[in-house]
Structure 1
């Protein structure tokens, strides 16, 4: 989403001595929201990545902090037992997939969450959580059901 006010709010946050602690509060909210969706689906959390391993491969949902400390991006990955990306018509190519791939036209990546937004508008997490629950997890489940290649 295009937010012309975001840079102004980032500037204010950069000068706020409480922002580092508030950023960690936002991080905790994001982790808790994703945990609530991924753990019941069989994903385990290690560091900043939830993953699930089956005979067909490993799926992962990773939280990647921006190097500037303003936001975090949800990155999806699936690798086969051979360590390759799936040879599947629904796989968009490349190693990493973002939540934007699940929309015909996305204004921005709904999986890129500004810490400021998470603090000021906690409901901004809803679209990311709903997309994970309703689209990503069934998509990963279909990839996990694929028969692994026989050698």
Structure 2
């Protein structure tokens, strides 16, 4: 895991100084958003949630700026995992609902996503999960979930 963390950090160090405008800018935003999500997940799994939070917030900012719905959805799904681990299942379910709304589907075969979906549903019960899910689907700017009080 330490090797993966180092590799992600090195990639981030090389990508961040690239120009924010120009022909490669959209791809740069996509990569940076996904890289920040990957780093956040790695930090979370290392037992460093304090390091994961700012990375998730930055990933959500970058994804929102990219305008790419699938990237935004991927980042929101990573954020949902973080929320669930922090005991914020309603916030996690809202992020999952928003991701579904952006993408129009979930990869039901993804075991990590399935675990987050199941964890949120178990923590909230069917009615609570559905309410949080619908709240997320209704958000005009779902990345705002990261700006709620931590």
TM-score range, shorter chain: under 0.3
Higher RCO (CA < 8 A, seq sep 6+): 1
TM-score (norm 2): 0.27
Of Structure 1 and Structure 2, the greater strand share is in 1
Of Structure 1 and Structure 2, the greater helix share is in 2
- Computing the radius of gyration over CA atoms, which structure comes out larger, 1 or 2? 1
